[in-house]
Amino acid sequence: MKNVSEIRALLAQDKATVGTWLQLPSPDVAELMARGGYDWVAVDMEHGSFGRHGLPDIFRGIECGGAVPFARLPEATKQNIKAALEAGAQGLIFPMIESREQLDRAIGWSIYPGLDDWEGAKPAEYRGVGYCRANVFGKEFDSYRAGTARDLFLVAQIEHVNAVDHLDAILSHPRLDAIMVGPYDLSGSMGLTGQFDHPDFKAVMNRISEACQRCGARMGLHIVQPDPQELERQIAAGARFIAYGIDTVFLWKSAERPARG
């Protein structure tokens, strides 16, 4: 099974880490996607059909398939963060981050007290401590706290044009591992939903890329429609944290009945 340390090692070598996206609440689908060779698999708790009670089985399926279980939260709240982490997520993708203050709160709620051993961003609040599935209901609490809980992979989604004016502050958080652009929401916030070739959208994407280069941050995005050539283009352009496809999109692209002759 891959682990977060391997993902960080790829980034440290300026190589891309490529994962994929789940919307279907099936442990079998989760395992199948994880066996596709991805570094991580993100459970889409915002747009997918996931309930809290089913998350442990989904994360177990991802682990069984050999990938690292991530969660894309429906909202970066204390309750949602706790639910995902206690079920076994080893990485979190925070949606709609628009300010440093918002990111500070989200990261604080993800970190146990005493694990904030970085400089410049001490949380005002911390993650609640308790027995849960992630630490085998207390049986492996100490090892979990010293390992997985310390090493969580944390990603901020840039999905609104308002965030672009605060990028340097967001990217400078010492505990942030990467960002991920949400192209549909970002373009929608500009009144250009899905118009990815529009000059104004391209200009904003250039600003995000330049801020990442300036701050030494890892740029990420979601390639929603599976396209190997687009994956190579984005890696060549500097993207390093990439979600490739969605289980539902892979399914409908392959499941359509062939046209009759």
Contact 177, 8 (CB under 8 A): yes
Phi and psi at 178, nearest 5°, equal -165, 170
Note the pLDDT tens digit of each residue in 184-209: 999 999 999 999 999 999 999 999 99
Q: How many CB atoms neighbour CB 258 within 10 A?
A: 5
Give the residue among 87, 82, 163 at the shortest CA–CA distance from 126: 82
Assess whether pLDDT exceeds 70 at residue 261: no
Assess whether pLDDT exceeds 90 at residue 119: no
- Retrieve residue 223's tokens: 């390639």
Measured CA to CA, the distance from residue 83 to residue 223 in angstroms comes to: 27
Contact 121, 107 (CB under 8 A): yes
Contact 17, 39 (CB under 8 A): yes
pTM value surpassing 0.85:
yes
